[in-house]
Every structure is written in structure tokens, then in C-alpha cells.
Chains A and B, each alone.
Chain A
């Protein structure tokens, strides 16, 4: 069991995961604020933050490189932020591994590549991991906080590094690239049959582009493979922690349970669970609130009493769900952030959230 304060001080990478709509971006940014206050050079990689939050942390337009957004008065720390641009990042990787500028150009201009670099399912996760590795290798940052893309599948992020190599492991890829490597520079009969079938389904233009893409890729493969291995090693290493962000609503808690199970089964550890937007504690139980509302019916305090009945109804449920989450997280530290008045839309708001994440932790 470790505190979030210790995580932001000691880790190199924090991966904020969880379903959409729970305030993941806000928590990621607040962790970054905490790291900067603790004197670290931190960078937050976000995918698609709410516009006002983006304004608050200084990202007004899409930028694929980190920009400093906060320097605390009290420490030498720095917080930078960037918004992931999938296509630009993928182009960068192709440029890195291409044998020549011509090869990179050929691949990048290919329509099949253009399609997969923007719309392939899981590509956002893949490029987020890629950017993470890039920032890690640059040596410029003490801590990288990644705000993972909302995804259908809990494990999309962990499977992301293998996205392209899985495609390359495909026997069809083997078939279409083999001739250009071997003596026979024409497609063998088996490959022709398969491609013929494929053309019947999707049309020949798509097939031709795909073959050109895979051939253009020749020789870059091992670079991608090594990189995928390194990314997985970094994610699974001691210097990385996963922070699960959830809310205390019943549906997101179910999702969180599913998520924890999948992530731990895959051999990765969740070190912290942040439960966002928890109702503030009340002194009255729900039953007492109901009795109070009956007493105050018709008075000028009927409105507030009704609000208290609703609040305690939610609170009672939340208590048991929080306990369930704590159980589920195993050794993970569970931190709650109360429902705050107003939306978190500036640095002051982030500092408030950070205050709850760090100092109010038991």
C-alpha cells in the first residue's frame, strides 16, 4: 500500500485508465500538478480533453509536442502538457524506422496507410504508448502521466504496442512480401488466390494499396517489433504505475471491476484507485433525512430537506460501492475526490483536485 504522493514522487510513468465520463483527464492533470509541486519535471499526455480544461492547462490548439503550462512558485518543478496527434506520431515512427526518406514517403503516401493511421481501431492507444516511449527516451522528463483514450475494451492500451506487429505476423503479409524478398519476384499461386478472394470482397483498389503498403514496409518490421517489446517492458516495469479512475456510480464501478480483473490477469499492477466526484459525507443517515423531510414538509425548508433526502440516498449507496472498490483494488490505495462545486476549468481547480488526491489521503 502506497500513497499517491509517493507515486508521483517516485514513478517514471503513471497511466490513468478507466471508462469515459469519470474525469480521467482532470485526474491526470491534477497528478501532474502534484508532481510539479513536488519538484519534478512532469508532462501530461492527453488525448482529447474538454475544451475548458485544455484552456486551463494551456493547450488551446492541437500540439503534438509538450508545452510548459505551470511552474509552481514553491519548487523547481514544471508541468508540461500535450495533446496527442495520432497521424503525426505515426508518421514520426515510420520516419524513424524507414531505411531511406523515399521509403518513408512511399509508406506515408499510401492510401492504406492513411486509413490505418487515422481510423484503425486501437490506433490512438498505440500512438499514446509510442509517444510515451518517445518522451521517456528523451530523458527530459521525471514523470510522464498518460491519460488513456476512452476505449471499448479495457485492455486496448496494453495490447496497443502489438497492434502493428500483430498485423505483420499475419500469414497474408508473409505471402505478399515473400516474393519481393526471394528470387521469384512474382506472387506465388497461394497468395494470388487469397488476394483474389479479398478483391471480391473489398474491391481490387483496396487490395493493391494494401499489398503496396506491406511491400513498402519491408525492412522496417524489426524496428517496430523491438519498439513494441520495449514499450511493454516499460509498462510492465517497476517504474510504471496504473491509476484506475472511477466514479461511485453503479455502472462505472461494474466497469472498474471488469477492468481491474483484466489488467491484473494480464500481469500488470494497479497501484491506485481514484474515485472521483464522491458525494460529501453527511451526519444524518438516509432514514433520518427522510424523517426530517417529513417534519419540514410545507415549511420554507422543505426544498433543502428534499435535497438532503436525495443526497443521502446517493451517499448510502456510494458507501457500499466504495467498499466494493477498495476490495477489488487489492493492495491499491483508494483515494476519493468529492463532488466539487463548479466544473474544474482552471489551474486553481486542478490544485483543489490535487489537494484531495494528496493531502487528504489517509
Chain B
């Protein structure tokens, strides 16, 4: 499938997954790949931890968009900004005519009560802010780095749960609007990410089915981070003739044996998890390579973007149906 078509198929792409599986890395990789395709891109970090900053080569990512990677897309590069629930709430109240009350609401603790009385409201406000960006932003693609898995599901679930809880009021209308965006595959898709080990794969499968059951949103192929390539000869008998022929020292023999054993074990386990993921989840997989000992800087992200683009190219055209 043509990567340009892949990324242009919806304006918003939400990258979601359990903590520690490289969700932010993938979001930065997607943004880099999109910019390399000559499309304008906005990367949105939910929560404002600036985790993607080193991957884009900037100091921090804040509320005001920053421009990164000016070497890409004829100087347009990547724009990145954050969205936090609190900022979204205050902005939303202002927009809905509560302008003069905002300060009083914050001071009196009313905001906290609103948040507590309607679980998911903060998630909804973040989603509402993303929808607002979708409507007003000139960028071709908006990549969203969602909060960690339980919360990613919370983020996607929020419109449904809130339309059930708040049957009236402005928040109900807001939830309906967010739901419309999520359920329209031409506007929004979700890209799930994991690594090839037991718990993350189980969680990914669970999340994917939960999203399918509860939220009407289109899923892209899943991305598996940090996969190992196959190496030949890991089971070779290192102590014997080969070692003698290569005149290896005792230290070299010991290290080669350790490395081969660990790698072979890890590779076997990864293959088992990749196979399980394929069996249990009827979605295509895009595999990104494990980068050994590399800092997550723009150079590493460029390598991952190469793999991502190659992975998308080898997908069948039918994945976006």
C-alpha cells in the first residue's frame, strides 16, 4: 500500500498502547514518516511530558506548537504541541460562555466536582480538543500520542460512557461530536502498538477487542516494536572446531556463547508471541526493528521511519477498507 495514501486516509491517527512499549517512539516515527512523505504533520502529546522532544531534536514540547526537523518537507518539518486535560477543560469552559466563571470555578473547587461527577470528562475534553484541532488545523495529518493503555481505552471510551451518564447539557453534545469523529474512518483511526512479549501482547489483544466492542473506531494494522531479526548459526557449537579454526580466546568463546544463547532464547520467545498475536488478532502487523543501545534521537527515529514506510508499502491495499 502506498504510504502517502495510508497516512492521508484519515486526518487524525491516535497511537495507543500499554506503557513501556514505545508508544511515544512510534508517534514520533509516524510524524517523521509523514513529514518525509511531503505531508504537513502536527504531533500532539497528551499529558505534556515532552517525551517525544529528544526524538524530534527539540528541548521541550508545550502548549504552543514548536517546529522540529526543519530538514524535512522543505523546511516545514514537524510541528508538535501538547494537550493536557486541565488546559482543555478551562479552554472548553471559556469557549462555552463560562468565561467569567472560570476563575471562580477553579477557586471554589467546582472544576474538581465536575471532573469527579462525570468520570471520563477529562478524557472527553482531551478528545474534544483533538476534534477541535481536526476542524481548525491546516495540517494534513494529526498524530496523537495517547496516554498509556488503560487510559487510552478510557480516552476512546469517554464519549460513549459520557453520553450514557450525562443525558443532557453541553457536555452531552460535546460527547456526541467526539463520537462522530471517532466512528468516521475518514476522519480518525487508531494505531495500536506493542512489543513481542507476553503481557504486552495479551494487553494489546484485550484492548483491540474492547475497542471493537465498545467504541466504533477504525483500527490500522498493529505495530510491533523492537522485533529481532533472525540470525543464523546461533546454535553452532562454539567451543569446538569452529572456535579452534577461528583461534578464539576463552573470553571470546564465553561471550559468544552467552550472546548466542540469550539472542536465540529471546528470538524464539518473540516468534511465539508474534505468532500468538497473529492467531488471536485478525489485523495485519507492521514490525519495527529493535535498535540496540541506540539513544532515541532523530537519527534512530529516521531508521525506524524507514522500516515503518517499508512495512506500510508491503501491506495489502485492503487494509484501509
* Interface residue ranges, A against B (CB under 8 Å): 19-22, 50-52, 111-112, 115-116, 118-121, 150, 152, 166-167, 169-173, 194, 197-207, 209-210, 250-252, 279-280, 282-284, 286, 289, 292, 295-296, 299-317, 339, 341-343
* B252 is an interface residue with CB less than 8 A from chain A: yes
Complex contacts, B65 vs chain A, CB 8 Å: none
How many Å lie between the Cα of A271 and that of B42 in the bound state?
42
A304 with B172: CB separation less than 8 A? no
**How many A-B contacts if CB must be within 8 Å?**
203
Besides A20-B20, A115-B117, A311-B258, 4 other A-B contacts (C-beta < 8 A): A199-B169, A296-B246, A304-B260, A308-B255
CB distance from B69 to the nearest CB of A (A): 20
How many Å lie between the Cα of A115 and that of B295 in the bound state?
42
* Interface residue ranges, B against A (CB under 8 Å): 18-21, 47, 51, 93, 96, 98, 101, 105, 108-110, 112-114, 116-122, 147-148, 150-151, 154, 161, 165-172, 197-200, 202, 231-234, 236, 238, 242-243, 245-246, 251-252, 254-265, 269, 292-296
Taking A302-B233, A306-B231 as contacts, is the C-beta distance between A203 and B110 under 8 angstroms?
no
Taking A20-B148, A284-B252, A305-B256 as contacts, is the C-beta distance between A150 and B19 under 8 angstroms?
yes
How many Å lie between the Cα of A198 and that of B150 in the bound state?
28
A252 with B252: CB separation less than 8 A? no
B116 with A299: CB separation less than 8 A? no
How many Å lie between the Cα of A332 and that of B319 in the bound state?
51
Complex contacts, A204 vs chain B, CB 8 Å: 168-169
B117 with A112: CB separation less than 8 A? yes
Instruction: With CB as the reference atom, state the residue of chain B lying closest to A249.
Output: B20
Instruction: With CB as the reference atom, state the residue of chain B lying closest to A279.
Output: B262
Instruction: With CB as the reference atom, state the residue of chain A lying closest to B47.
Output: A152
B112 with A292: CB separation less than 8 A? no
Complex contacts, B200 vs chain A, CB 8 Å: 21
For A172, give its contact among B110, B166, B252 (CB under 8 Å): B110
For B293, give its contact among A299, A303, A316 (CB under 8 Å): A316
Complex contacts, B197 vs chain A, CB 8 Å: 343
A21 with B18: CB separation less than 8 A? yes
**Pairs across A and B, CB under 8 Å, 28 listed:** A20-B148, A22-B20, A50-B198, A51-B202, A119-B161, A150-B148, A167-B113, A171-B108, A197-B105, A200-B169, A201-B96, A202-B118, A250-B295, A251-B20, A252-B20, A282-B258, A284-B252, A289-B255, A301-B236, A302-B233, A304-B236, A304-B263, A307-B256, A308-B260, A311-B258, A316-B293, A341-B261, A343-B269
The 9 closest A-B pairs by CB, nearest first: A21-B20, A313-B293, A20-B19, A119-B119, A203-B169, A303-B233, A307-B263, A308-B259, A203-B168
Instruction: With CB as the reference atom, state the residue of chain B lying closest to A213.
Output: B117
B236 with A170: CB separation less than 8 A? no
Complex contacts, A210 vs chain B, CB 8 Å: 113, 117
Q: Which residue, A21, A152, A302, has most C-beta atoms of chain B within 10 A?
A: A21
Complex contacts, A280 vs chain B, CB 8 Å: 258, 262
For B110, give its contact among A194, A308, A311, A316 (CB under 8 Å): A194
